[in-house]
Amino acid sequence: MSASPDPLQDAGSPVRSARPLALRSGRQRKAGKRPGHEEQDQGRVGVVDIGSNTVRLVVYEVPSRLPIPIFNEKAECRLGEGLSQSGKLSPAGVERALRALRRFASLALAMGVEHLELVATAAVRDASDGVAFVERVEQTCGVQVHVLSGAEEARLAAVGVLNGSPLADGALADLGGGSLDLVSLDAGRIGTFATLPLGHLRLAEESAGDRVKARALLEERLSTVPWLDAVGGRGLYCVGGSWRALARVFIDQMHHPLHVVDNFTISFFDAIKLANLLASLSRATVERLGNLDAKRADTLPFAAGALAALLERTRPREVSFSAFSMREGQMLELLPRHLRGQDALISACEGQAEREGRFAQHGEEILDWMSPLFEPEKPAERRLRLASCLLSDIGWSEHPDYRAIHAFHRVLRIPYPGLSHPERAEMAIAILVRYGGKEDDPMVMPVRTLLTDADLSRARVTGLALRLAHTLTGGAPGLLPQTLLIRKNASLVLELPGDPLVFHSEAVERRFLRLAKAMTLKGEIRPTAR
């Protein structure tokens, strides 16, 4: 019997494919899928980002909703090393990049990627031998390379950030190895672009490692962007691997209770204090910092210096770090227009519910049923409550003894866009309570510090209502609308249909009364009024 061909067996030979990659014969739907759970056959999308410092492949599953990454790998190639002196790509970096790209193209084929997009940024754009490098990549991988202009790169970074922060206001700053891309943002609208030769690798080289000289270069070039004056008192949204590494250090230094970079937000004063401190550290001290890739030790102080200089130039109210950037923007550009306008958080939660829920997804049904408990309610609060409803069955397969705390941690760190850290905490505590967890658990207490008393109360009521909803119905859709929650004056009423055998139990009564007590209301269960 002949062996199946291995797409990775000959890493030295070109991968024969065209862009977009040849369509697969189609993934088979799994037998026995419940209604509403069928897999979609729209294929997978891959984006390869050929940067000045790293080359990264991200593969996204594309169902009927916004895709989420299923594979993410980077290779540190340092294509832009020495570019500021030689004007050319690093010869060693070119060979490292070609090896990585050959692997990534082969993996994409093996994973059934139907559209593989290769994009190159500042180093390839600026190098005198960039065109020759692109030709080698296309010959080796059989996939066209799109060399982004500075404006394209900045715009795509903005598209990626706005996917998770749709009302971002102020400026976006994307620091790569070769350039700093700046975009003005007006309550979610993309404005003016600027691209400056201020990447962390380029800064280190142009200044010959002299941080005082690097700071002077930063201040001189930032002064050429007049619209940065308008950022004062608004938001600065930071993107790029080096600044994400800085965010991890900031989180450690501030003892922040949530180790998630996306939407980690700090005040201007905290940010500039920490950025200036890190910009002054020796390499040996940087290497001793926790939660940091040692390969970044050489240039991290220059990335910190770039942030400090930008903060001095703009003086924003606060600084937010984003895990979403140009790659996500490029991925979104490949999607049909009707998918791009979806709420990224809700879309991701709906997909999660459909993939892992025991029954057909019915988050809206639960949301509407418990809505009388939350009137009046702001749109942002309703959105967060819907996300909690969609994820309310996330822990069903866990061991009962650990279900609550495992579900809490899973929701707290879920890799979905569109969540601030307080919103993550509120959702996680709601799901903890839904599974009967204790709010005073030692693993929960630090996260509670992210919430106001009102936030914590909403999380508690949401969790208790979810617990009651799943107790009433066993999690099955279609039953909950037969019951009714009524909040009137100082009372909370649960109306049940005429046949009490389906809905009424000791557990239902106990959990309903606990919900009423949490709201300081008098609880009453009665038959549905005819």
- Give the model confidence (pLDDT) of 415-436 as tens digits: 888 899 999 999 999 999 999 9
What is the side-by-side strand order in the sheet with 484-488?
A: 484-488, 491-496, 522-527
Same domain membership, residue 367 and residue 284: no
Q: Which of 116, 119, 141 is nearest to 60 (CA)?
A: 116
Same domain membership, residue 415 and residue 484: yes
Strand-strand pairing, 170-175 and 68-76: unpaired
Given 112, 147, 182, which residue is the final one in a domain?
Answer: 147
pLDDT (tens digit per residue) in 59-78: 988 765 677 789 999 999 99
Quickly count helices (H) and strands (E) in the chain. Answer: 22, 14
Same domain membership, residue 253 and residue 223: yes
Same domain membership, residue 468 and residue 353: yes
pLDDT at 42: 57
Domain membership flag for residue 305: yes
Instruction: Indicate the SS3 state at residue 119.
Output: strand
Q: State the residue range of the domain holding 117.
A: 44-147
Same domain membership, residue 240 and residue 380: no
Torsion angle in degrees (nearest 10) through CA of 375, 378, 380, 382: 20
Run means of pLDDT, 10 residues per run, the chain, 530 residues: 32 36 34 36 82 92 74 93 92 96 95 93 94 95 92 92 92 94 95 93 93 96 97 96 93 95 96 96 86 79 97 97 90 82 88 85 92 95 97 94 96 92 98 97 97 97 97 90 94 86 87 97 88
Assign residue 243 the CATH number of its domain: 3.30.420.150
Q: How far apart are CA 423 and CA 342, in angstroms?
A: 19
The dihedrals phi and psi of 58, each to the nearest 5 degrees, come to: -125, 125
Domain membership flag for residue 50: yes
Same domain membership, residue 350 and residue 429: yes
DSSP state of 6: -
pLDDT at 65: 63
DSSP H or E run through 487: strand 484-488
Same domain membership, residue 501 and residue 366: yes
The answer to whether the CB of 135 falls within 8 A of the CB of 199 is no
∠ CA 298-303-308, nearest 5°, is 135
